[in-house]
Structure 1
Amino acid sequence: MSFRRFIQDLVLYRKMMLISLGLFVAGIIMGNVLTSFLSALLEPQIEALQEVSGNLSQSASPELSFFIFIFLNNAVKSLLVIGLGALFGFMPIVFLVMNGMVLGYLVQAASSQGADMFDLIVKGLLPHGIIEIPAILIAAAYGLQFGYLVMKSLGKLGARERHERSVKWGEYFRSAGRAAIWITVALFVAAIIESTITFHLVQT
C-alpha cells in the first residue's frame, strides 16, 4: 500500500488517466460554451448545493459541518465511481462529464455576472481543487480501467487455454485497493483545506 507503488500504478494506467482528464476538460468546455442550453439541467443541482451550503453555514460549527459533508460526499462518490466502472465504464464517463460541466457552467455564469475571476479561481477553487480534482480524476480513471477490463474479459470468454485469458484481475484489484486508500487520504486533506482556508477566503 506504499505511495511509491501507487505512483507506479498511475504510470501503468496513464492512458486511462489521459482519457479521464480529456472527458473532464470536455465537460468544462461544454459547460462553458452551452451555458444557456444546460441551465435547466444544472441549475436545480446548483440550487440544491446552495441550500445545503446555507444550512451548513448556520450550524454551530460551520467548518466541521462543511468538512464532514465535503469529505463524505467526495469520498463516497469517488469510491463508487471506481466500483461502478464495472458497468463498462459508463458511470465514470457520466461522472467526469457532469462534474466538468458544472465547473465550466459555474465559471461562465460567474464571469457573465461580473465576478472577479482571479478571486474565484485563486480563492474559491485553487486551494482545495489542486488536490481534489486530481483525486477525482484518478478515481474515474480506475473506474474506466475496470470497465475496460470487464469488456476485455468478456471478449476472452471463448479462449480455450487459460494463458489466453490475459486479464489479471488480482493485479487490478490490488492497485485499486491502493488507489482507494490514497484517494481517500487526498480527499481528506482537500476537505480540510476547503472547509477552513477556502471557507474563509471566499468570505473575505
Structure 2
Amino acid sequence: MPDKNISNKPENSPQGLTVREIYDTYGRPLAERAQSLISNPVVQAEMQRATREEYYKKVKAYEDQAFNLTNKEIEDLIWSIHIGKNTFEDLKQVMPSINSATIYKYLLDEPELRFKNEGLLGGIPKVASLNVKRSYYFQMTKIPTGFYAPYEFEPTDSFILTITAENMIYQLEKERHMQELAEKSLVIAEDSLNESKQSTKYAMYAMYASTIGILIALIQIYLSLK
C-alpha cells in the first residue's frame, strides 16, 4: 500500500509546487500578459508595419531581378507565342536567361499586392506597382489562382499577345514578305543577267557566223571571176 504521507509534489520544483501550481503561478500571468500585448492596438500596428515592410522588400528584390530585353529578344519571344509555343517553359527554350520578373516587366496583367493603400513604407512611398514600365507585349491566357506579387511563373503558365505585339507581328510579317520579294527579285535579276549574257554570246556567234558567211561569199565570187 502506498505511503499516504508521501507528497505528489516534485522534490525539485520551486517550493515543492506541482506543475499545475507552477503554471497558475508563473505561466498563466505571462500568457495573459503576452495576449494583452498582442491585443494592444499599438503593438498590432507595429507588427503589421514590420510585416508590410518585409513584404515590400521581397517585392523590390523581385523587381531587381528583371532586365531589359533587346528588340530582337522581344521579337523572338513574340514570334514564339504567335506560332503557338506560348508557355513559360517554351519561352525559356527561346531565351534560357529569361526569368519571371523580366516576363512580368512586359506583361499586361498585374498581380495583386497583399497590402494595399498602406501609405508610406519606411519614409519612402510604398511600391504601388511593378508595372511602371514600357509597352506591354504579353498577357496571361488565364490568370492563375494566387496571382500575388512577387509571382513566379509555372512552366505551364501560358501567354497570348497584346495588341501592341500583334501590330509588331504584322510589321514583322510585312518585312519578311518584302525580304522574300527582294530575294525573288534578286534571283530574277541574276537569271535575266545570265540570259542577257547568253543572248550576247549567241549574238556574237551569229555575227561571227555572218561575217564568215560574207567572207566565204566574197571568196567564191573572186574565184568565179578568174
Asked whether the two chains share a fold, i.e. TM above 0.5, the reply is no
Which protein shows a greater Rg? 2
Q: Which has the higher contact order (CA 8 A, sep 6+)?
A: 1
Q: 1 or 2, which has the higher strand percentage?
A: 2
TM-score normalized with structure 2 length: 0.21
